[in-house]
Amino acid sequence: MVYKGILYFIIMLISFSIHAQTIDKFNIQDSLDLKTNKQLHFKVKQLIIPSVLIGYGIIGIGNDQLESFNSQIREEVREDIDKKFTIDDFSQYVPLASVYALDAFGIKGKNNFRDKTIILATSYLIMGIAVNSFKHTFKVERPDGSSMNSFPSGHTATAFMGAELLYQEYKDTSIWYGISGYLVAAGTGAFRMYNNKHWLTDVVAGAGIGILSTKAAYWLYPTVNNLLSSKKNNTNKKTVFIPYYDGKQVGFGLVSAF
């Protein structure tokens, strides 16, 4: 069945992404060593997987063959639908929540609460800007005809952003944490298609945006941290990033206390 093929296709991409990062002999540079204040080194090859995913989604918008494949998948999915399952509204946050849940249970990740929260907030900001910019630029109609903001999938982007964060934080503890996060993210994307809310190209591009957003947040962390920890700032000043999602838009708030 075409629908089963979708799941295999997505899982294959996720597995390839994890494998590609695992075999990188310099993968220790993928995240920060905060204890030694090491600067994160940008590597072009880290862009390959998310770029391929995002590129596939963008090319699919104007490609007759890929659009035909989108329609074929949609028709196959619609034949099997008895009722909708809104689990994707919640599963998108599971990988993110797992990062803090594991820490709460005493399983420490690579970074402390403050540092990974800053990374998360930066990821949310990048992902939110990218997703909403693409939605307003391409104006792709959803499969169910409900709106013109189908591309890319924000739910999928959120899920994969969290999955990449989970992977980066806990890959040295156990790679299975990251794999589990990616499987949940893939399931979120599959349910977006099952619920007739997104095309395959939307989901694939959303996955790429989510992964890239978290990678970029780790690359930018030294700069962001320096800004927050600047000696010019009042030593009693505290700054907290608060990400939000209102059902339509993703963003973050900045709260400062003196």
**pLDDT given for residue 10 in this prediction:** 56
> Confidence class of residue 23 from pLDDT cuts 50, 70 and 90?
very low
Give the whole-angstrom CA distance, residue 250 versus residue 161. 12
- Going by C-alpha positions, the residue among 100, 102, 130, 128 that lies closest to residue 115 is 100
Question: In the predicted model, is pLDDT for residue 253 greater than 80?
Answer: no
Phi, psi of 123 (to 5 degrees): -60, -45
> Confidence class of residue 141 from pLDDT cuts 50, 70 and 90?
very high
> Confidence class of residue 44 from pLDDT cuts 50, 70 and 90?
confident
36 against 112, higher pLDDT: 112
Check: CB of residue 81 under 8 Å from CB of residue 73.
no
The two structure tokens encoding residue 222: 């030294």
The chain-wide mean pLDDT, for the chain, equals: 80
Give the whole-angstrom CA distance, residue 56 versus residue 205. 7
Q: Domain extents for the chain?
A: 2-230
Q: How far is CA 220 from CA 17, 40, 118, in A?
A: 21, 8, 10
Cis peptide before 152 (omega within 30 of 0): yes
Question: In the predicted model, is pLDDT for residue 46 greater than 80?
Answer: yes
Give the whole-angstrom CA distance, residue 193 versus residue 202. 9
Tens of pLDDT, residue by residue over 68-117, are 988 888 777 766 566 677 899 999 999 999 999 999 999 999 999 999 99
Check: CB of residue 134 under 8 Å from CB of residue 221.
no
Report, in angstroms and rounded to the nearest whole number, the Rg of the chain calculated over CA atoms.
19
Give the whole-angstrom CA distance, residue 245 versus residue 228. 24
Show the beta-strand stretches assigned E in the chain.
Answer: 238-245, 250-257
Tell me the mean pLDDT in the region 160-168: 96
Provide the 10 A C-beta neighbour count for residue 249: 12
DSSP 26: T
**pLDDT given for residue 40 in this prediction:** 54
Tens of pLDDT, residue by residue over 143-157, are 999 999 999 999 999
